[in-house]
Amino acid sequence: MDLDVLNMFVIAGGTLAIPILAFVASFLLWPSALIRIYYWYWRRALGMQVRYANYDDYQFCYSYRGRPGYRPSILMLHGFSAHKDMWLSIVKFLPKNLHLVCVDMPGHEGTTRSALDDYSISGQAKRIHQFVECINLNKRPFHLVGTSMGGNVAGVYAAQYPEDICSLTLICPAGLPSTTDSKFIKQLRELQESESIDRIPLIPSTPEEMADMLKLCSYVRFKVPQQILQGLVDVRIPHNDFYRKLFLEIVNEKSRHSLHENMSKIRVPTQVIWGRQDQVLDVSGANVLSSAIPDCHVYILENCGHSVVVERPRKTANLILEFLALLHSTDNNKKQA
């Protein structure tokens, strides 16, 4: 073989080997960096852009796609210890002409974290209202979506700022009393009795605890490699002290049943989506909401746990779109009548 041709193959092989070796090294040595790159790539692929908004000296980080149009904008509030990118699995199945906004909740990811801030559910609702005003989202009533802790905040927001929203979707929301204790509530009681409250199941510090948390939150059993589990833990560990403080804030008497205390004030059409096999917040909460909110549509997803957004993203996106289409059709019929 000609020496120049041989050199060309060597150079080409070396060029291909470098990114492959870099990927393998990242996977083995810095899995947390790989996870961040993954979210960055997914945002770009779905057309989501990251922006910041300031209210006095407070900064909100959010992602968005599309512009306000004839259909209501959609604001999405994530759950405890998550971030705006958790909604990407749903965004994938939503039309690109819808105006979508996903915000980091107070103290999470790119949004300001302050020891002086009020992290109660009502305090978070107030902060989200400030964010809404910052980006002029409430020029027209918008559709509000919240899951878990974010669902609690969304429900309280709907009660406290009814003029801002036209409709509401609550996905496995916290803030409700339950006649049936979930697996998570039972675990918390056991930890309180043993005075080991620092070992909160939703705040993992090891790959093994992360695996246990995923099993608790999901009915579907995802096979997650050990390195990815380590990466997920590495991303969270710097924030675990904050998560403990936040958790104790949202389960105390002031916030524990915030949604329940405010649901009688919710006067907009409301959609409730819940996983039948939710082990974090018992599905009986759906009946509590449907009995108290006049125009409430309940959807229980079989073979689904607490992480509805991750386990059933296509179904959840379709349910939201069908609900909005139903409301649009009802409004048109009222106008024609």
Quickly list DSSP for 62-122.
EEEES---SSPPEEEE--TT--GGGGHHHHTTS-TTS-EEEEPPTTSTTS---TTS--SHH
Residue 138 lies in a domain: yes
Residue 26 lies in a domain: no
Residue 116 lies in a domain: yes
We report the CATH number of the domain holding residue 165 as: 3.40.50.1820
Residue 30 lies in a domain: no
Task: Catalytic residue, from 89, 120, 148, 167: name it.
Answer: 148
Residue (of 205, 207, 238, 202) closest to 225 by Cα position: 207
Residue 242 lies in a domain: yes
pLDDT in tens, the chain (337 residues): 444 433 443 333 444 444 433 334 344 445 677 788 889 999 999 999 999 999 999 999 999 999 998 899 999 999 999 999 999 999 999 999 999 999 999 999 999 999 999 999 999 999 999 999 999 999 999 999 999 999 999 999 999 999 999 999 999 999 999 878 899 999 888 877 776 666 899 999 999 999 999 999 999 887 888 888 988 999 999 999 999 999 999 999 889 999 999 999 999 999 999 999 999 999 999 999 999 999 999 999 999 999 999 999 999 999 999 999 999 876 666 655 5
258: annotated active-site residue: no
2: annotated active-site residue: no
Residue 111 lies in a domain: yes
Quote the domain boundaries for residue 274: 47-336
DSSP state of 263: G
Distance CA 256, CA 250 (A): 6
Task: Catalytic residue, from 278, 282, 297, 307: name it.
Answer: 278
In angstroms and rounded to an integer, the radius of gyration of the C-alpha atoms of the chain is 22
Question: Tokens at residue 35, please?
Answer: 């996870």
Residue 211 lies in a domain: yes
Residue 169 lies in a domain: yes
Distance CA 328, CA 322 (A): 10
Distance CA 101, CA 164 (A): 15
Residue (of 186, 288, 204, 217) closest to 247 by Cα position: 204
148: annotated active-site residue: yes
Quote the number of domains for the chain: 1
